[in-house]
A and B are shown apart, each in its own frame.
Chain A
């Protein structure tokens, strides 16, 4: 279980996270929603250890990530898979080489075994035929799917998705969401996703947390969030602009 306790973070005196608390149960799909620029990605980057909070703790099975450095932190990251917003595929490698990269660099698997696992991973995301192409030669949706294949090829226990559907058309958004649900069912990982795909994410999330002005203002099952009486949540879900005080 991931347990976040009172995370705060400021950049140049500007507070972005003002005390975030969240619990992510093992094996669940937890989606963090909120307005653009509301600190969702910053929060995610804390959970994957790319940023350190000013105060607060992030506990993974009882171990405080914010106190870990070097190899200890790397050991935690070995359990992670991360799908970045733009995919973050390596431009100089083909799609298959991108998927093979973590296996090649972090395991002692033989070439044949790596090739088999890469082929399986690409087939799982429906991209067996683009293995030899470079990321620049495939579409945005395909890049995201290759990024998902790369994140899952090491069979991580926890997978973080940073707005995996940004910039895609509604059909592709649903395709990616269905893919994530299907892979989650098959591989049983814990998923933490940042998204503002409303209402689509309510169909895939076990739990939804609304981040607003640096705080989690509501958290619960998708249905409960949709029915929440909280005006901030309702305004966000219905795409209404905020009232100015």
Chain B
């Protein structure tokens, strides 16, 4: 039986309802995907080779971009903060200002954004191509769980590599600030590092650590999900890759705000 046409004022309401149902369904699929992945993360057999491969794919191959962006972020921070702090006669606080900005905020966020751009997009594209070329179906019909081979190792690798990448980003960034503050503007080395030791404590480091861990999960979750649920053909892969990068980046910034307001 055909549906009766709705009264005109109800049409937008119907569209809103349809949209809301679509959003709830998508969230349900997204959540179920993570539950299935968690199931394969905590139950044997563990795919150590695939895990090592993902560490290399997500972490090691992102090293150069992390080092480069970390160094320049630190140098920009050093430059801008030095010029600002000089106005208040507080240039002695350049070290802690650079370190706190990096450790609490910029390090985890920028490192995560960089790894998303380099490895997250590649992860979505790789899994997406495996989907459209039936490689994932091939795993399934071999009675092998594709989550165990593709998703679980990626999420675990994200969990391990994001904090490490963030730590590297922070260290290189702090030295970038050092180059500008100490080598360029002549601030004393002792002041730069001494004040840093006074003002940066373990809570700051843990805040950055928890952020980077959660970003690692978010990025690998989103990127593997988008690769798994890719559309048809090359266009589908391209769209999924773009969506994965955009969604990951937005979630990184939103989650960063929430964590920033909850963590000490």
Residues of A within 8 A of B (CB): 45, 48-50, 73-75, 77-78, 80, 82, 84-86, 88-91, 101-102, 105-106
Assess whether B142 is in contact with A102, with CB atoms less than 8 Å apart. Answer: yes
Q: Mark B113-149, 1 if CB is under 8 A from A, else 0.
A: 0000000000000000110011101101111100000
Assess whether A105 is in contact with B144, with CB atoms less than 8 Å apart. Answer: yes
Q: How far is B129's CA from A50's CA once the two chains are assembled, in angstroms?
A: 18
A-B contact list, 12 entries, CB within 8 Å: A73-B143, A75-B143, A77-B143, A82-B138, A85-B134, A88-B135, A89-B135, A90-B130, A91-B129, A91-B130, A102-B144, A105-B142
Assess whether B143 is in contact with A78, with CB atoms less than 8 Å apart. Answer: yes
Chain A residues with CB below 8 A from B137, complex form: 45, 50, 84, 88
Chain B, interface size category, equals: 10 to 19
Assess whether B134 is in contact with A88, with CB atoms less than 8 Å apart. Answer: yes
Chain A residues with CB below 8 A from B142, complex form: 77, 101-102, 105-106
- Nearest CB of chain A from residue B108's CB, rounded to whole Å: 30
Chain B residues with CB below 8 A from A90, complex form: 130, 135, 138
Chain B residues with CB below 8 A from A49, complex form: 141
Beta-carbon nearest neighbor of B149 in chain A: A105
Assess whether B143 is in contact with A86, with CB atoms less than 8 Å apart. Answer: no
Chain A residues with CB below 8 A from B130, complex form: 90-91
- Picked from A74, A78, A86, A101, the residue with its CB within 8 Å of the CB of B133 is A86
Assess whether B141 is in contact with A77, with CB atoms less than 8 Å apart. Answer: yes
Q: How far is B142's CA from A18's CA once the two chains are assembled, in angstroms?
A: 28
Q: If A85-B134, A88-B135, A91-B135 touch, does A106 touch B143 (CB 8 Å cutoff)? A: yes
Assess whether A74 is in contact with B143, with CB atoms less than 8 Å apart. Answer: yes
Q: A50-B140, A102-B144, A106-B143 are in contact. List 20 more A-B contacts (CB 8 A).
A: A48-B141, A50-B137, A77-B141, A80-B141, A82-B141, A84-B134, A84-B137, A85-B134, A86-B133, A86-B134, A88-B133, A88-B134, A88-B137, A88-B138, A89-B135, A90-B130, A90-B135, A91-B130, A101-B142, A102-B142
Q: Which of B135, B137, B138 has the most CB of A within 10 A?
A: B138
Chain B residues with CB below 8 A from A89, complex form: 135
Q: How far is B138's CA from A77's CA once the two chains are assembled, in angstroms?
A: 11
Q: How far is B49's CA from A101's CA once the two chains are assembled, in angstroms?
A: 13
Q: How far is B141's CA from A102's CA once the two chains are assembled, in angstroms?
A: 10
Chain A residues with CB below 8 A from B140, complex form: 50, 77
